[in-house]
Chain A
Amino acid sequence: MPKIIVEIMPKQDLLDPQGKAVANSLHRSGQKEISAVRIGKRIELHFEREITDKDLEEAKTQAANFLSNDVIEDVVAVTKED
């Protein structure tokens, strides 16, 4: 099933309270060598036919305008996957 993968991460310089909470939890369970945790999103856009370059461009636009909030997030990657 062809799909486009959009990966989104919180902006580097902004707070990530979820990541912090998870890091603390990992530390508590003994994994003290993990210096930080950041949690993002992986969004899959499924297609019923082959994906064109236009689809990819459209996905990049949607990723920037809707799937992510550019104030607090970065779109890290938009890629095709079979």
Chain B
Amino acid sequence: MKIGVITYPGTLDDRDAQRAIRLAGGTPVPLWHADDDLKKVDAVVLPGGFSYGDYLRCGAIAAQAPATKEVIRLAGQGLPVLGICNGFQILVESHLLPGGLIRNEKQHFVCKDQKLRVENNQTSWTNMFEKDEEILIPLKNGEGGYIASDETLKMLEAENLITFRYLDGNPNGSLNDIAGLTNKRGNVVGLMPHPEHAVEPGFGPDTKTAMRSGIDGLKFFQSVLQQVVNA
């Protein structure tokens, strides 16, 4: 199962995403932003970072890239797409997901281990989770505040499109504690926290069991692989 990871100028967590895919049992395929050939991958990850230095707006310039345009096209046909942090920003700028992401309420970059609730386990990237499962995923960003109009928020709640919600404190002022969303079809998921940083024992968040032993992020990648196998 081939999963593409797009590198834009300024992307930072691409190699981490590739490792996560490998650990989940898939084959990561590095993709270049300027190339609209997605090499027939079965799914795509838009990783975290500061593509184009967050110039103009986070993810705004990356949303115009040839590779992104192709992802938008294929997402319309059901290609699973996961946008992490900056990737979520790119999905929002591409209008694949609704709303906007703005500067953290506290105006500072924050890196912490964040508790989340998985509220929608019917998506391509969450089907291995239990409904309302609580997970621990590293969060690190300065522009993670999710905002949307009242209308959009009502729609998101009503249609169960909110995939992850912040627990034990809202780190960035996101409305309705929204940490991540899915589209109606369930193939496009975006979230601010970084599952690719919780996939390898010894390098994830601390848990009660042991230092750095948290690997809740692995299920994201196992989910999509499972889906692709069953497809």
> Which residues of chain B are near A18, meaning CB under 8 Å?
103, 107
User: How many A residues are at the interface, by size bracket?
Assistant: 10 to 19
- Contact yes or no, B145 A13, CB < 8 A: no
- Does any Cβ of B come within 8 Å of A67's Cβ? yes
Q: Is the interface of B mostly helix, strand, loop or mixed?
A: loop
Contact between chains at A15 and B60 (CB < 8 Å): no
Closest to B100 in A: A72
Per-residue contact bits, chain B 68-106, to A (CB 8 Å; 1 contact, 0 not):
000000000000000000000000110000111011110
Per DSSP, are chain A's interface residues mostly helix, strand or loop, or mixed?
A: loop
Let me know if A14 is at the binding interface, CB within 8 A: yes
Bound-state CA distance A67–B145 (Å) is 20
A77 in contact (CB, < 8 A):
no
| A69 near B173: Cβ-Cβ < 8 Å | no
The yes or no answer to A21 lying at the interface (CB within 8 A) is yes
CB distance from B149 to the nearest CB of A (A): 7
Number of interface residues of B (CB under 8 A): 19
Q: Scoring A residues 25 to 56 as 1 if CB is less than 8 Å from chain B, else 0, what string do you get?
A: 00000000000000000000000000000000
Q: A71 interface residue, CB < 8 Å from B?
A: yes
Distance in Å from the Cβ of A18 to the closest Cβ of chain B? 6
Q: Are B99 and A71 interface neighbours, CB within 8 A?
A: yes
Q: Which chain B residues lie closer than 8 Å to A21 at the CB level?
A: 107
In the bound complex, do residue B148 and residue A15 qualify as a contact, i.e. CB atoms below 8 Å apart? no
Decide if B176 is an interface residue (CB 8 Å cutoff): no
By the criterion CB–CB under 8 Å, are A15 and B145 in contact? yes
Chain B residues with a Cβ under 8 A of chain A: 56-57, 60, 64, 92-93, 98-100, 102-105, 107, 145, 147-149, 173
* Contacts A69-B60, A71-B100 known; 12 new A-B pairs at CB < 8 A: A13-B149, A15-B102, A15-B145, A15-B173, A17-B102, A17-B103, A18-B103, A21-B107, A69-B57, A71-B92, A72-B100, A72-B147
